[in-house]
C-alpha cells in the first residue's frame, strides 16, 4: 500500500531541485564577480607587512655580515697583538739595550690592547643589538600567528554561516514575490559579504607569507647568532690571555728597571771611588797593559796550537748569540769610565759589552768552538777576574770575564752554541755583578754586535 505522503515528498523533492538549480544559476555570476573583484585595501596593508618582514630579513643579514667582518678584523688584531707581545717578551728575556725604548714598546702594547678591547666591546654591543632585534621579530612572529589564527577562525565562521543560510535569501525573496528593489538590495548585501570573504581570504594568504618570512628570519638569525656568540667567547679568551701576558711583561720590565737602576748606581759609586785616586788608576793601567798583552799572546799561541792540531777551522761561518739576557750597562767603544785604557782618540776605551743580569745567571757560549782557556785573568793584577775564552776559528775568539770561579767546562773541551760555560759573577775589577763580553777578530777586539 502506497503512503499518502509519497506524492507530497515527491513534490517537495522536485521543488528542492528547482531551488538548487536556481541557486546555482544565481551563484555563477556571483562567483565570477568574486574571482574578478579587486582586492580590498586591508590586503595592501598586509603587503606592506610582508615588505617590512623581508626588509628586516635583509637588514639582519647585513648586520650578521658586518659582525663576521668585525670578527675577522678582530682576529687580525689579536694575531698582531700576540706577535707584538711575543716579540716584547723575547726582548725582555734577552738583551735590553735601552730600557726607555722597551718601556715605549710596552706602552704601545697597552694602546694596542685597548684598541682590541674596543673592537671586542663593539662586537659585544652589536651582538646585543642583534639579540634585541631578534627578540622583537620573535614577538612579531608570535603576534602574527595569533592574528592569522583569528582570521582563519573568522573566515571559517563566515563560511559556516553562509553554508547554514545557504545564501538563498535572494531566491526566497524572488519566489516570495518581493519587489525588484528588494531583490537588488538583497543581492547587494550578498555581494558585499562575498567581497569581505574574498578580502579576508587574501589577508590570510598574505599573513601566511609574512609569517613564513618572519619565521625564516628568526631561524636563520638564531643560528647565526649562536655561531657569533661562540666566536665572541673565543675572542674574549684570547683577549684575557693577551691581558695576562701584558701584565707579566710589565712586571718583567719593572724588575729589569730596578735591577738596571741598582747596577748603574753601584757602577757610579765604584767609578767615583776609583776616580778619587786618579794617580793609582794610571799606575794600575800601566801595570796591567803589559800583562794583558802577555795574556793575549798566550791565547794566540793556544789558538794557533789548536788550529795546527786541526781542532778548529780556519774561518768562522755563522753568527754569534748573546751569552745571556740582561741590560747593557756599558757598550763597546769610547767610554767615560776612567778605569778603561786609552785607545786612539779615546781617552778611555771599552773593548767589550757589559751585561747585567741577576747574580749567578748562566753564561752560554756565543757559538760552537773549543775552550782554549778557563781560569783567572792575572793580567788584572792582584785582583784578577775569572775568565773563559773560546776559539771558534783560527781568527775568532770570544772572551767572557768577571764570572764566578766554577768549572762547568774545561780547557780543550768542545762546546756547542748556547751551552753553559759559566755563571755571572763580580770577580776582578768589577763595579758589580755583570758579564764583560768581548770578541777578538784577527787579533783585534771588535764590537760583538758585528757578529750577532
Most confident of 92-96, 223-227, 391-395: 391-395
The secondary structure of residue 405, as a DSSP letter, is S
40 pLDDT higher than 50: no
Out of 108-117, 275-284, 310-319, 434-443, least confident range: 275-284
Do strands 349-350 and 333-334 pair parallel, antiparallel, or not at all (unpaired)?
Answer: antiparallel
Confidence of residue 372 (pLDDT cuts 50, 70, 90): very high
Of 380, 229, 237, 369, nearest to 313 (Cα)?
Answer: 369
* 277 or 212: which leads in pLDDT: 212
Collapse the DSSP code of 281 into the 3-class scheme (helix H, G, I; strand E, B; otherwise coil) and give the result: helix
- Residue 320: its pLDDT value, please? 94
Name every residue whose Cβ is closer than 8 Å to that of residue 377 and which is 6 or more positions away in sequence: 295, 384, 385, 386, 387, 401, 428
Q: Please report which confidence band the pLDDT of residue 290 belongs to, taking 50, 70 and 90 as the band edges.
A: low
The chain-wide mean pLDDT, for the chain, equals: 76
> Which is more confidently placed, 206 or 418?
418
Q: In which band, very low, low, confident or very high, does the pLDDT at 69 lie, cut at 50, 70 and 90?
A: confident
**Predicted pLDDT at 151:** 78
Give yes or no for residue 88 having a pLDDT over 60: yes
Position 250 scores a pLDDT of 84
Q: What percent of the chain has pLDDT over 90?
A: 16
| Phi, psi of 375, rounded to the nearest 5 degrees | 150, -160
- Give the closest residue to 207 by CA, choosing from 95, 49, 84: 49
The angle at the Cα of 179, spanning 173 to 181, to the nearest 5 degrees, equals 100
| Angstrom distance (rounded) from CA 128 to CA 139 | 17
Q: What is the pTM of this model?
A: 0.53
118 dihedral zone (left: phi>0; alpha: psi -120 to 50; beta): alpha
Q: Between these two residues, 285 and 158, which has the higher pLDDT value?
A: 158
Using 50, 70 and 90 to split pLDDT, how confident is the model at 79?
confident
For the residues of 315-350, what is the DSSP string, one character each? S--S-PPPSS-EEEEE-SEE-S-TTSPPBTTBSSEE
pLDDT mean over 387-415: 94
Q: What pLDDT is attached to residue 73?
A: 82
Q: CA 309 to CA 301: how far, in whole Å?
A: 12
pLDDT class for 318, splitting at 50, 70, 90?
A: confident
- Residue 36, pLDDT > 50, answer no
In the prediction, which pLDDT does 432 show? 78
SS3 445: strand
Q: Is the pLDDT of residue 281 over 60?
A: no
Q: Are 124 and 74 in contact (CB under 8 A)?
A: no
Per-residue confidence (pLDDT) for residue 416, from 0 to 100: 96
The bridge status of strand 435-441 relative to strand 444-446 is antiparallel
CA distance 418 to 90: 16
Question: Which of 13-27, 59-73, 80-94, 132-146 bottoms out in mean pLDDT, i.e. has the lowest?
Answer: 13-27
Task: Flag whether pLDDT at 10 surpasses 70.
Answer: no
Q: Which of 328, 325, 380, 320 shows the shortest CA–CA distance to 354?
A: 328
Give the span between the Cα atoms of 214 and 372, in whole angstroms: 84
| pLDDT at res. 267 | 66
**Residues making up the chain, counted from first to last:** 452
Residues 6+ apart with CB under 8 A from 235: 71, 74, 75, 78, 120, 123
Residue 142 has pLDDT above 90, yes or no: no
**435 forms bridges with which residues in the sheet?**
355
- Cα 96 to Cα 331: distance, rounded to the nearest angstrom: 12
Query: How is residue 139 written as a grid cell?
Result: 614577538
Per-residue model confidence (pLDDT) at position 35: 36
Contacts of 295 (CB under 8 A, 6+ apart): 377, 378, 379
Q: How far apart are CA 155 and CA 198, in angstroms?
A: 9
d(CA 445, CA 31): 112
Find out whether 76 and 59 touch, Cβ atoms under 8 Å.
no
Radius of gyration, alpha carbons of the chain: 49
Close Cβ partners of 371 (under 8 Å, ≥ 6 residues apart): 388, 389, 390, 409, 410, 411, 412, 413, 414, 415, 421
The confidence band for 15, taking pLDDT boundaries of 50, 70 and 90, is very low
Q: Of the spans 186-190, 248-252, 273-277, 279-283, which averages the highest pLDDT?
A: 248-252
Please choose, from the candidates 401, 425, 323, the residue with its C-alpha nearest in 3D space to the C-alpha of residue 95: 323
Confidence of residue 419 (pLDDT cuts 50, 70, 90): very high
Residue 197: is its pLDDT beyond 80? no
Residue 67 binned pLDDT confidence (cut-offs 50, 70, 90) = confident
pLDDT at 336: 60
Q: Is the per-residue pLDDT at 25 higher than 80?
A: no
> Pairing mode, if any, of strands 95-96 and 326-330?
parallel
Please report which confidence band the pLDDT of residue 387 belongs to, taking 50, 70 and 90 as the band edges. Answer: very high
Q: What is the pLDDT of residues 376-386, one digit of tens each?
A: 887 666 678 89
Sign (positive or negative) of CA dihedral 203, 206, 210, 212: positive
pLDDT level of residue 14 (50, 70, 90 thresholds): very low
Choose the most confident range, by mean pLDDT, from 53-57, 216-220, 249-253, 353-357: 353-357
Amino acid at each position: 500500500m502506497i503512503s499518502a505522503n509519497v506524492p507530497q515528498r515527491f513534490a517537495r523533492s522536485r521543488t528542492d531541485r528547482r531551488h538548487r538549480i536556481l541557486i546555482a544559476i544565481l551563484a555563477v555570476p556571483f562567483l565570477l564577480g568574486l574571482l574578478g573583484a579587486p582586492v580590498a585595501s586591508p590586503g595592501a596593508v598586509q603587503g606592506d607587512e610582508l615588505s617590512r618582514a623581508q626588509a628586516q630579513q635583509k637588514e639582519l643579514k647585513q648586520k650578521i655580515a658586518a659582525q663576521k667582518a668585525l670578527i675577522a678584523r678582530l682576529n687580525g688584531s689579536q694575531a698582531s697583538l700576540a706577535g707584538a707581545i711575543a716579540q716584547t717578551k723575547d726582548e725582555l728575556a734577552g738583551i735590553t739595550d735601552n730600557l726607555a725604548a722597551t718601556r715605549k714598546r710596552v706602552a704601545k702594547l697597552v694602546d694596542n690592547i685597548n684598541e682590541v678591547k674596543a673592537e671586542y666591546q663593539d662586537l659585544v654591543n652589536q651582538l646585543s643589538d642583534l639579540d634585541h632585534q631578534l627578540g622583537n621579530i620573535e614577538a612579531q612572529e608570535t603576534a602574527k600567528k595569533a592574528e592569522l589564527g583569528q582570521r582563519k577562525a573568522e573566515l571559517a565562521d563566515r563560511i559556516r554561516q553562509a553554508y547554514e543560510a545557504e545564501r538563498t535569501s535572494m531566491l526566497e525573496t524572488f519566489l516570495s514575490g518581493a519587489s525588484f528593489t528588494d531583490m537588488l538590495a538583497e543581492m547587494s548585501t550578498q555581494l558585499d559579504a562575498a567581497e569581505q570573504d574574498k578580502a579576508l581570504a587574501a589577508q590570510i594568504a598574505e599573513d601566511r607569507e609574512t609569517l613564513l618570512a618572519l619565521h625564516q628570519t628568526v631561524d636563520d638569525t638564531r643560528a647565526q647568532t649562536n655561531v657569533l656568540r661562540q666566536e665572541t667567547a673565543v675572542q674574549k679568551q684570547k683577549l684575557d690571555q693577551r691581558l695576562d701576558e701584558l701584565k707579566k711583561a710589565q712586571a718583567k720590565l719593572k724588575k729589569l728597571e730596578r735591577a738596571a737602576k741598582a747596577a748603574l748606581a753601584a757602577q757610579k759609586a765604584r767609578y767615583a771611588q776609583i776616580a778619587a785616586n786618579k794617580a793609582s788608576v794610571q799606575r794600575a793601567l800601566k801595570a796591567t797593559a803589559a800583562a794583558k798583552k802577555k795574556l793575549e799572546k798566550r791565547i794566540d799561541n793556544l789558538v794557533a796550537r789548536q788550529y795546527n792540531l786541526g781542532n778548529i777551522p780556519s774561518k768562522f761561518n755563522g753568527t754569534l748569540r748573546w751569552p745571556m739576557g740582561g741590560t747593557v750597562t756599558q757598550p763597546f767603544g769610547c767610554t767615560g769610565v776612567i778605569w778603561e785604557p786609552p785607545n786612539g782618540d779615546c781617552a778611555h776605551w771599552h773593548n767589550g759589552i757589559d751585561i747585567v743580569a741577576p747574580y749567578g745567571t748562566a753564561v752560554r757560549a756565543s757559538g760552537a768552538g773549543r775552550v782554549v782557556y778557563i781560569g783567572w785573568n792575572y793580567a788584572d793584577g792582584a785582583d784578577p777576574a775569572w775568565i773563559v775564552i773560546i776559539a771558534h776559528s783560527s781568527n775568532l775568539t770570544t772572551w767572557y770575564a768577571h764570572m764566578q770561579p766554577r768549572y762547568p767546562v774545561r780547557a780543550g773541551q768542545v762546546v756547542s752554541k748556547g751551552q753553559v760555560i759559566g755563571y755571572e759573577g763580580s770577580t776582578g775589577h768589577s763595579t758589580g755583578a755583570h758579564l764583560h763580553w768581548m770578541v777578538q777578530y784577527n787579533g783585534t777586539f771588535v764590537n760583538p754586535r758585528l757578529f750577532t
